Structures are given as C-alpha cells and as structure tokens.
Structure 1
Amino acid sequence: MEELQAAVTAHLDQVSGLVQALSSELRRGMGPAADNLRGFIRAVDWTEPWLICLMAFHVVLLLTAVWFRRNANFQLFLLFLAYSGVYLAERMNRYLGEHWKSFTSRNYFDRSGVFISVVWSGPLIFISIVSVISSLIALCRLMVKWKRAELRHRARLARDKKD
C-alpha cells in the first residue's frame, strides 16, 4: 500500500511540475513562438525553384479542393492523397536529406523532420481539414434535403388519407 501511495505521490509531483512549466510558458506569451517562426522564415531561401514549385503545388491542390468541394468522391480521393503524402513525409525527408545537393543550395532536411513537416505535411493537413469541412457541409445539405423530402412525403400521405 505504501508503494502505491509513493507512486501516486511521485506521479502527482510530476504532473504538478508539468502544469507549472506550462503555466510559465503561457505567462511568457506568444513572443518566443513568434520569434522562432520569424527565425525559421528568415533561415529558408524561399526563392529556390523547388520551394516555389512546392508552394504552387499546395496552392493548386487547395484551389482544387475548394473547386470540387461538392464532389464527395473527389473529396475522399483528396483526403487519401493528402494523408498518404503526410504518411510518406518521413521517408521523403530521409531521401531528400541524402540527395539535397542535386536540387537545393542548403540541407533543410534534418533528422527530426521539422522542415518537411512545415512545408509539406502542414499544408497537406490544412487541405485535408478544408476537404473534411466541405464534406461535412455537403452532408448537412444532404440531410436537410432528405428531411424536406420526408416531410413532403408525410404531408402527401396525410392529405391522401383525408381524401
């Protein structure tokens, strides 16, 4: 029983430390995060052709997702495509880290995969969110259409019953 009590106390102390660390981070505000983001943006040469092509790819994919927002089958395909891209990001990072000299001036592909997560996976996840929201809106519209048809059918049945 004493071992259990000691384990629970140790766990509560650890949780308390995490909560204190989180609250101190929140008290500092968004300044450090904004500084890190500015440093990241400055460290990358955004004029490299492959980065411009990658950004153009994401813009075209986003516009395609918005353009075909009412096509449920295409939205499902787009979700599969985007999540496959996110799934393959680790392998892509490893491959691109080995062959970076053939297409870029600097090696952006670190072991932790921060760069590939920001420029590849992040936009794909955003596009996936847009696709899911579009699908939910289409589903809501379909439910409203179905309910209206059901109410019209019930009204017709009630009218025919009176006659």
Structure 2
Amino acid sequence: LRSGFAPAYDNFMGFFHAIDWKEPWLICLLALHVLLLLSAILSRKHINLQMCLFLLALSGVYFAESLNLFLSAHWQMFSTQNYFDPHGLFLSVLWSGPLLVIAILILINTLLSL
C-alpha cells in the first residue's frame, strides 16, 4: 500500500517544490483565499452574504479556464516563471481548489441552517 502512494507523493512534492512561494502575487492569492474563507466563516448567520460569497466562489471556478489562458499569455508581467500550463493544473490546484472548498463549506452551512 505504501508503494502505491509513493508516486503520488513524489508528484505532489515535485509540484510543491517547483513553485516559488515567495512571489508577491502568490502570497496575495493565498491571502485572498484566507480572507474569503474567514468571510464565509464570520458571515455564516447571514444567508444573503453567504449566497453572494457562494456565487463569487463558483464564478471564480467557472472563469478559471479563461483566466488560465489570459495569465499564460501575460505571465511575464507579474511572475518569474510560467506556471500556467495548457491543462490548467496549477490554476486548478491553487485557484479553483480552494474556491470549491469554500463553496462546499458555504453549501454545508446553508443546508445545516435550514
């Protein structure tokens, strides 16, 4: 079983180490996700604000492909290397993934409050 997870772990660690986590735009992206998560947690009793955050998060996921195309064409303006591959792996992991997690948390909160 351990050898079954070893290739996945090696791929993840390769992905993790290939990213320069000190780039200002990456720090801002992570801060944006933390801010959105805190907003979702702190506004859990305000259903209208929760729905706005939910739609905002899902809109971000919906436009991820267009955003990836745009960022892959203009990466020199803000980054030291091109992270934006044609398949969108980087953007899926660092943009869409956290937004989907936040949207799922909002959905669970909404269903529990019914």
2:31 counterpart of 1:56: yes
Query: Per-residue displacement from partner, 1:86-142 (whole Å, max 9, x unpaired)?
Result: 000000000000000000000000000000001100000010011011112211xxx
Structure ranking higher on relative contact order (CA contacts 8 Å, 6+ apart): 2
> Which of the residues 83, 96, 100 maps onto 1:108?
83
- The runs of 5 or more residues in structure 2 that have no matched partner are none
Is 1:82–2:60 an aligned residue pair? no
1:73 counterpart SS class: helix
What SS is found at the alignment partner of 2:48? helix
- Structure 1: runs of 5 or more not aligned: 1-25, 140-163
**Out of 99, 117, 121, which is 2:96 matched to?**
121
Percent identity reads: 54
Paired residue type of 2:78 = F
Query: In structure 2, how many angstroms separate the alpha carbons of the residues matched to 1:71 and 1:123?
Result: 21
Of Structure 1 and Structure 2, the greater helix share is in 1
Q: Which has the larger radius of gyration?
A: 1
Q: Which runs of 4+ in 1 moved over 4 A?
A: none
- Give the paired residue count: 114
> Which residue of structure 1 aligns with residue 67 of structure 2?
92
RMSD: 1.3
